[in-house]
């Protein structure tokens, strides 16, 4: 399937540029408020040697005083379609790398690249391309959002390209990803849905329930079959009802489910976010962007798969009918909103942006927290939770901007 270019029209490039730096020189960040798995430490320090965090500072380490700042783990985004004017579904390798870098500038040090609904052969081809970037360490894996979703809850997906989740076709995408398929979003109530969930679980791929019109009972059946994620909870699914609770109640009540939340102020009312945190807790919430091309780029006309999108005042909607079409969110904004608007603790926000997604991806032995031996992925924030530095694998991507 021919796919239109990632962006066009009046979109503006980002003005934020990376700080040139190289990995390898030992560094000690001192005087910071450091958020650790065991709690927050005032006047703490983080030591980086090479690409890893270490417990002991070498004698030749560079000392950087970051008093008045927070040091927190790098953000992990498990659901992201693009940024910087580039689409992970349709862009070239150069475009995809630009999108990845755009999100790194905003603190996302680990990213799963998401596709949107398309022709099966086209998606298989994209899986091959994205798997190469995963093998190179640029992305953490591939998330297929569609085409196995409900036409009743399609959101910004082309209805003409939707199909039931036939396990053979699901397997085709897994195979095309060459071991780099991380997650597949399905409407599990469709024919083949439960069998596809079992197939994904058997192959170590996350089965995510989303873009679904399932009942409460059908959702419970899918969870029992092996589903472990709710794709952008509340969005693209039936609302919570007191006689017909639908998927939301089933997904929130089950400790086996991690719920994605898009905390951009558009996709969720603050009360819905509070409900999710109250019921699931930070250990079961993963903040995501669900970002499309315009993230970190600007308003204008874009393509999301074969559908045209208008972005105005940072909100993306389908040109045809005004349906919300992903977001322009970056995770530094999601973090700040969580703490300053939603009233979450810094510790809970860190958990939802780093520790929970790292554990979900099975990568918590390397990323997701500031501990000796783990990758030196971190974000530096000022007292107002504004981003002032980003380090990925021991190299500064941004900053540190201390003055």
* Catalytic site positions: 290
| Long-range CB contacts (within 8 A, 24+) of 256-259 | 256/223, 256/228, 257/223, 257/227, 257/228, 257/229, 257/230, 257/284, 258/228, 258/229, 258/230, 258/284, 258/285, 258/286, 258/356, 258/360, 259/229, 259/230, 259/233, 259/284, 259/285, 259/286
C-beta atoms surrounding 47 within 10 Å: 20
Nearest to 162 by CA among 306, 22, 26: 306
Whether the CB-CB separation of 342 and 333 falls below 8 Å is answered with no
- For the four alpha carbons of 313, 314, 319 and 322, in that order, the dihedral sign comes to negative
Beta bridge partners of 144: 115, 184
And the tokens for 14?
Answer: 């980002």
Number of other CB atoms surrounding residue 317 within 10 Å: 17
User: Which spans in 231-364 are helix H?
Assistant: 246-253, 270-280, 331-340, 346-350, 356-360
> What's the token pair of residue 295?
């993230």
The CA radius of gyration of the chain, in Å to the nearest whole number, is 20
The CA-to-CA distance between both ends of the chain, in Å, stands at 50
Q: What gap in Å lies between CA 255 and CA 197, rounded to an integer? A: 18
Alpha-carbon gap, residue 300 to 179, rounded angstroms:
36
- Phi and psi (nearest 5°) for 83? 170, 170
Pairing of strands 307-312, 52-54: unpaired
């Amino acid at each position: 399937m021919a796919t239109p270019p990632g962006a066009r029209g009046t979109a503006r490039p980002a003005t934020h540029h990376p700080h040139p730096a190289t990995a390898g020189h030992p560094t000690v960040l001192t005087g910071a408020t450091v958020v650790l798995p065991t709690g927050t430490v005032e006047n703490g320090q983080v030591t980086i040697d090479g690409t890893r965090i270490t417990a002991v500072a070498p004698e030749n380490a560079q000392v950087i005083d970051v008093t008045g700042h927070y040091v927190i783990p790098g953000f992990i985004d498990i659901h992201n379609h693009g940024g910087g004017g580039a689409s992970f579904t349709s862009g070239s390798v150069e475009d995809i790398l630009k999108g990845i870098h755009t999100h790194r500038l905003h603190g996302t040090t680990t990213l799963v690249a998401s596709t949107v609904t398309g022709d099966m052969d086209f998606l298989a081809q994209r899986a091959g391309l994205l798997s190469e970037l995963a093998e190179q360490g640029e992305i953490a894996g591939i998330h297929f959002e569609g085409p196995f979703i409900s036409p009743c809850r399609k959101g910004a997906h082309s209805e003409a390209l939707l199909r039931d989740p036939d396990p053979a076709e699901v397997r085709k995408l897994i195979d095309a990803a060459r071991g780099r398929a991380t997650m597949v979003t399905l409407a599990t109530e469709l024919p083949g849905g439960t069998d596809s969930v079992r197939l994904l679980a058997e192959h170590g791929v996350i089965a995510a329930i989303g873009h679904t019109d399932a009942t409460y009972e059908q959702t419970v059946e899918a969870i029992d079959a092996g589903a472990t994620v709710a794709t952008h909870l509340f969005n693209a699914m039936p609302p919570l009802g007191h006689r017909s609770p639908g998927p939301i109640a089933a997904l929130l009540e089950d400790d086996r489910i991690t719920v994605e939340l898009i905390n951009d102020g558009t996709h969720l009312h603050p009360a819905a976010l509070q409900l999710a945190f109250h019921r699931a807790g930070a250990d079961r919430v993963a903040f995501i962007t669900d970002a499309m091309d315009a993230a970190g780029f600007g308003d204008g006309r874009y393509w999301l798969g074969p559908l045209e999108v208008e972005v105005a005042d940072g909100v993306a909607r389908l040109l045809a009918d005004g349906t919300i079409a992903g977001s322009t969110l970056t995770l530094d904004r999601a973090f700040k909103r969580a703490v300053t608007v939603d009233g979450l603790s810094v510790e809970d926000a860190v958990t939802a942006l780093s520790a929970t997604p790292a554990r979900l991806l099975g990568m918590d032995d390397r990323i997701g927290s500031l501990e000796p031996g783990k990758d030196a992925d971190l974000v530096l924030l000022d007292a107002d939770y504004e981003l002032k530095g980003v380090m990925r694998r021991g190299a500064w991507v941004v900053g540190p901007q201390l003055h």
